[in-house]
Amino acid sequence: MKGKRHIYMDYHATTPLDERALEAMLPYLREKFGNAASQTHRFGWDALDAVEAARVQTARILGARPEEIVFTSGATESNNLAIKGVCEKHAAKGRHIITVATEHKAVLDCFAQMEKRDFETTILDVRPDGLLDIEELRAALRDDTILVSVMAANNEIGVLQPIEEIGARCKERGVLFHTDAAQAVGKVPFNVENAKADLVSISAHKVYGPKGIGALYVRGKHPRVSLDCQLHGGGHERGLRSGTLNVPAIVGMGKALEIAQAELEEESRRVLALREKLRQGLAARLDHITVHGDLQRRLPGNLNVGFAYVEGETLLMRLDDIAVSSGSACTSADPAPSHVLAALGVSVDLAQASIRFGLGRFTTEEEVDYAIEKTVRVVRMLREQSPHYDLARQGLLDDE
């Protein structure tokens, strides 16, 4: 490969906008610029028609009904609306809520806020493979539990939680079930009825759509879920989310989800093959490496690897032409080790020396080959400077 190149392998942080989604958006950034709430002229009618078409596209990939889709600014807002909305609406029934230690900060921080409002929270541990123990969830459910929130796919280690079993346990007890499915939808099959989910958060920029737009699925029957609005002023989105609708972004999300649904099977197969090529390529040439999280129940494009006896920040700096991360994009400025890896029991040193490779729609085999070569070269070079690595090779140290 000639010259300096930059390879993108951080698809869990965000995805590039698919050209087909951009093409769908352009008319609503130009000539069809109307406000969807303006229903006295053609400009507003065209905008509203586009929004409702995207609502259908969004509902279809979830197996939901269009009227159950509420447009938001992204999964973070959807999580806030779901968690705070349920707590405030159903506080008279109970004040106990449950989540998992490996959740996205958008969920964990919501739970922390609800604690300040006198709700009791239970944060369940996960097994070393990153999966929730269903029996621990069953034991944690109480008569005053009103909500369980468990993400469908983890943004750092790619683990797919047993959503259908979780939903079934919640349904048995009459507890509402919310899942942050931002990383799962469009990458693995997902259906709200199979999951028995009452609330589902998604975000367009995780599925090759624009940033700043997302949606919350709110179950309309069996049961009909009621929420307290978190953003007031105008009564948009059936009174659940006020604010002028971002028509171009909504159109882009609808198109991106339509594409993802049509191409999911083929794309997942291709990306999984690339992920396995990367994993096997690293494992064949480097010792003392650890893949974090279950390998079977996992997003096809996720590989989170710990490289023992390497200084993590230096490793990232040396991989300067490969866009990877050491954890969630939302916490990348935080020097503390990943809370997800800590929940798996990973040591601080190994957590800080762990890299999340995220492969996606535009990743090529050539890029994977380059990533293997560069990572192997950098890790070997850094280990030459590590006195602990020599001891480990002689069997005098365990992996960190």
Residues assigned a catalytic role: 330
Contact 132, 166 (CB under 8 A): yes
| Rounded Cα distance, 382 and 314, in Å | 8
User: Which among 116, 187, 191 is positioned nearest to 158, based on CA atoms?
Assistant: 187
If residue 248 lies in a helix (H) or strand (E), which one and from where to where?
Answer: helix 247-285
Q: Which parts of the chain are beta strand (E)?
A: 7-8, 69-72, 96-100, 120-124, 145-149, 176-180, 199-203, 214-218, 289-291, 302-307, 322-323, 354-358
3-state secondary structure of 341: helix
The total of other beta-carbon atoms located within 10 Å of residue 193's CB is 13
Contact 47, 247 (CB under 8 A): yes
**Cα-Cα-Cα-Cα dihedral sign, residues 392, 282, 152, 195:** negative
Residue 387 CA, distance from chain mean position? 38
In the chain, what's the furthest Cα-to-Cα distance?
79
| Rounded Cα distance, 117 and 68, in Å | 28
Give me Rg for the CA atoms of the chain: 22
Cβ within 8 Å of residue 144, ≥6 positions away = 93, 94, 95, 96
| Rounded Cα distance, 355 and 367, in Å | 16
